[in-house]
Chain A
Amino acid sequence: MQISELAPALPALRKAPAQRWRDLLIHPLVLRLVSFAAVLALWEYAGRIPLSPAFPTFLETLGGLGAIMADGTLFKAFLITLHPLVIGLTASIFCGVALGVLMGLHEPSEWLFAPIFVIAQAAPLAALIPILTFAYGIGLTAKVMTVCIMAMPVIVLNTLGAVRNTPKSLLEMGSSFLATRSQNIRLIILPAASPMIFAGLRLGCAAAFIGVILAELLITPTGIGDVISYNQSVADYPKMYAAILAIIVFSVLFIELLERIEVTLFRPEVRR
């Protein structure tokens, strides 16, 4: 290479490290880690002031997490909690999407069912739990119902909105190219609605996690709810917060997984 060619290349070379640092700093992954680190640092600081004797630092909580993981408490608790969660969530997803699609396509059924879900969504769940225990006892059924009441309305109402919001020009396109009613639903309405339906499913999952923990704290202490309330009663706060942290992390990962599934199965245009 000749020197004359090298000269214009030099400023670029000199700029490169700084540029690389800046690119690294605004990388999405780095920013996300910074966001986590900031919250955790704040937690650690608040625990060290201390904010309250009942509020452990982040590191103490990690210690508690290690302890409940080591003796198998956390794993067993998760299995118990997942039981009503999985049943309730599966029922909510299938019934919710089916009902939402039906309501979106058929107006009389919207008038029939929508008020129930609007009320269920607005109602304070904790206040309804005495009625649930009165009707379904204190066992699994009551907890499954709690999960459903939390998760189903948001899934149903999102699905309804998604089906209703199918772009009018796509519907006209379908009918001008002679789509039958069933082709119209399968090939146009449902694919067009799927992003918003999945948004509803993600919200529904988050609500289901809230529901199951609420049920375990308010109906009978089992699973994670038991770990939380037991450790609270014996003032072992690091373990109590460790259980809360564990369920939050699990819930976030689960919702993230749902999004991955959506993109892989239903959104070819996002995948590329």
Chain B
Amino acid sequence: MNPNVAIMAQPVSDRPPFPVRAARPIVEVRSVSKTYAGGIEALSGISLEFPEGRLTTLLGPSGCGKTTLLKIIAGLIPASGGQVLVDGREVTGPGPERAFVFQDFALMPWASVIRNVAFGLELRGVAHSEREAIAERHIARVGLKGFEQKYPHELSGGMRQRVGLARALAVDAKVVLMDEPFSAVDEQTRRKFQEELLELVANEGKSFIFVTHSIEEAVYVSDRIALLSRRPSRVSAIIEPQIQRGGDPEKIRRDSAYLDVVEAIWQQLRHYLD
């Protein structure tokens, strides 16, 4: 077995403790299942734990229910069975401790960048000047200083997703849920985003749950990867890429540990394609 990859078979409960960076779970998913109207079974008894302060990725083939699971955690759609605990409390709907970053950005075209970023605070009744000050800080944080008064249609796709990210950061949630956030931006922007995401995870002290279908992206950004099988979805493996981060980001992409994990996941996923 490759020493750079820790692959744990189900059940999750008897896995070994985390090697170095053990953390308590901030989000617990307990045998969650989801059957859509019409009898399509999307998730079948999924159990997962998401460690605090880390980035955990849900990875799997298209249509495997990754986004469904993420939206159940967000409280946007109800589960058909099982329960989700966030910070020890059961999820019954969206909550202030979770913020969502949307695949299609979900920006309001009629609102300026600063109003979009401050929107979560506006909904919570934070006073105008206060929320604009907070929004300004987060706009600068994602590198959009000077674009506060622009409108979404004046921005590129990558910049729009930065607005979506700033909006999620502005409400200061403990858990940031990201639904394929970089799939609608070009490859160069995507790589830049991945590097910035690592920096966010390292500095913000928040927990991130990330959905992607890109193996490379998952391995590059994740502390932990939950590999989901095809519908009805189960957790087929949990992988912890032990990659030395920091230093030259380009070096990571050529690093043998990185490449080995990518290869190992590909071997796991390829039989779903037949």
Contacts and interface: CB of A to CB of B under 8 A. Distances in A.
Contact of A178 (B104, B110, B112, B123): B123
A173 to B, nearest CB: 4
A183 B100 CA distance: 18
A179 interface: yes
B96 A188 contact: no
A76 interface: no
Given A173-B100, A176-B98, A178-B123, A272 B106 contact: no
B99 A176 contact: yes
A188 B108 contact: yes
A169 interface: yes
Interface in A146-196: 167, 169-170, 172-180, 183, 187-188, 191-192, 194
A177 B123 contact: yes
Interface string B78-108: 0000000000000001111011101110101
Interface string B154-171: 100000000000010001
B74 interface: yes
A94 B119 CA distance: 29
Interface of A: prevailing SS: helix
B102 A172 contact: yes
> Which of A172, A174, A267, A272: most chain B CB closer than 10 A?
A172
Interface in B120-178: 120, 122-124, 151-154, 167, 171
B264 interface: no
Nearest to B77: A172
A178 B106 CA distance: 15
Contacts of A176: 74-76, 94, 98-100
Nearest to A172: B76
Nearest to B153: A269
B119 A177 contact: yes
> Which of B76, B102, B106, B154: most chain A CB closer than 10 A?
B106
B120 A177 contact: yes
A28 interface: no
Interface string A206-235: 000000000000000000000000000000
Interface in A10-33: none
Interface residues of A, number: 23
B249 interface: no
Interface residues of B, number: 31
A169 B180 CA distance: 14
Interface string A249-272: 000000000000000001111001
Interface in B54-78: 71, 74-76
Nearest to B171: A177
B205 interface: no
Contacts of B103: 169
Contacts of B95: 178
B98 A170 contact: no
B106 to A, nearest CB: 4
Contacts of B110: 191-192, 194, 266-269
B94 A178 contact: yes
Nearest to A167: B106
Interface string A226-247: 0000000000000000000000
Contact of B106 (A170, A180, A266, A269): A170
Contact of A169 (B104, B112, B119, B120): B104
Interface of A: 167, 169-170, 172-180, 183, 187-188, 191-192, 194, 266-269, 272
Give the 3 A-B CB pairs with smallest separation, nearest first. A173-B106, A269-B151, A177-B120
13 contacts: A170-B106, A173-B100, A176-B76, A177-B123, A178-B96, A178-B123, A191-B111, A192-B108, A266-B110, A267-B110, A268-B112, A268-B151, A272-B154
